[in-house]
Amino acid sequence: MDAFFYEVFDEEREAIERYLPAGLAVEMTPATPQEHGAEAPPAAILSTRTQSAIPHAWGSKLRALLTRSTGYDHVVRYAREANFTGACGYLPLYCARAVAEQACMLWMALLRKLPVQRAQFAAFHRDGLTGREALDKMLLVVGVGNIGHEIVQIGRGLGMKVLGVDLDPRHDDVEYVSIEAGLPKADILACAMNLTADNAGYFNAERLAKCKPGAIFVNVARGELSPTADLLAALDNGQLAGVGLDVYENESALACALRAGEFGIQDKKTEASTQTPAVAAALELAKRSDAILTPHNAFNTAEALERKARQTVESLKAFLQTGAFPHPVPVG
C-alpha cells in the first residue's frame, strides 16, 4: 500500500478516487487514528485532516505525512512532539473562497437572528426578530492571508467597511490597523489567522473586552485562537451579540464525543472527553440561539472538494516521484 488516508468522508472519497491513477494503492477510512485503533501505521505515508491524533510511537515508522488542510499547526506539533523527521505536506490553495463564504454565511445569519427566526416559524411569531443589515457595518478581518483576503473582498461586495490586521501586510488593497485600533470599531470580527505557538488564546476574555459592545465574532481558522469559555462569558455579559464557529478548542475530543453520542456509545473515555472544559463549553454554546456552530465544514463545497482531491493526488504522486511535497510544511 502506498498511502493510508484518515478522516475521509463519503464525498471526499468519491472525488479522490476519480483522480487516483492506476497503480497507486491507497486505502481510506472516515475514522481518525484514535478511532481506527491500529497498533501500527497501516502505511508509511499517512494523510489526515485536523482531528487525527497520530501515535507518537509511529513517528519512526513513517516516511511522510500529508494533511488535507490549509492549516498545518497540528503537523508541526506532531513533528515536534514525536521527533518526526519525515516529509510533511499540506494544501494551501484549495478552499480560500469556500471558507470565506462560510464566514460570511455565519455573520449574516447572526446579524439576522436566523436561529431564532427558524425557531419561531412554527407560530409565525415575529417579536424579537429584528436584525441588522451588513451595509456600512465595520468588518475587521484578523489574519489577511488567502482566506482572509477573500473575506475582505466579500465584505466589500456587501457594502461593508473593511479593515485588516496582520503581521505581514502584503495586500495593497487592504487598509491595515493594529488589533488595538480595530477592535473598538468592529461590528463584525472575523478570525482567519494561522495558529502558532505564540498566538494560542489570542481572543481571550481580556481581548474580547476591548471589542465594540454587541459585536459579532466569527472564527473559521483554529479553535485554539478563541477560548470557548471566554466566548460564552462575552455573550453572557453582552460584549458579544453573536458567535459563529466552524473550529473548536480540543476539536478531536469534541468530534469524538459528538460522534459517540450519535451512535449511542457511552464509555469512560467518551465521558472524560465531554467533561473537559473546552468540550463542555462548546456543547453549552451549541444550545444558544445567539451562536451558530458548524462541524469544521467551511472548506466543503463541490468546487473546493474537486480542487482538494486533485491537489491531494498530485501531492502524493509528487512525493512518490521526488521525495518532496509541492507544499512542504515548515516544521523547522
pLDDT tens, 176-201? Answer: 999 999 999 999 999 999 999 899 99
Assess if CATH 3.40.50.720 describes domain 96-293: yes
Residue of higher predicted confidence among 215 and 37: 215
pLDDT above 90: residue 15: yes
Query: What is the average per-residue pLDDT within 145-164?
Result: 98
Give me the percent of the chain exceeding a pLDDT of 70.
95
Q: Which of 75-89, 244-258, 283-297 has the lowest mean pLDDT?
A: 244-258
The domain locations on the chain are 3-94+302-322, 96-293
Same fold, 3-94+302-322 and 96-293: yes
pLDDT at 266: 52
pLDDT at 67: 98
pLDDT above 60: residue 324: yes
pLDDT above 60: residue 248: yes
pLDDT above 50: residue 265: no
- Predicted confidence (pLDDT) per residue in 282-299, tens digit: 999 999 999 999 999 999
Query: What is the average per-residue pLDDT within 129-141?
Result: 98
pLDDT above 70: residue 267: no
pLDDT at 12: 97
What Å distances lie between residue 91 and 75, 134, 298, 317, CA to CA?
12, 32, 15, 14
- Predicted confidence (pLDDT) per residue in 208-219, tens digit: 999 999 999 999
pLDDT above 50: residue 323: yes
CATH topology of domain 3-94+302-322: Rossmann fold (3.40.50)
If you average pLDDT over every residue of the chain, what do you get? 94
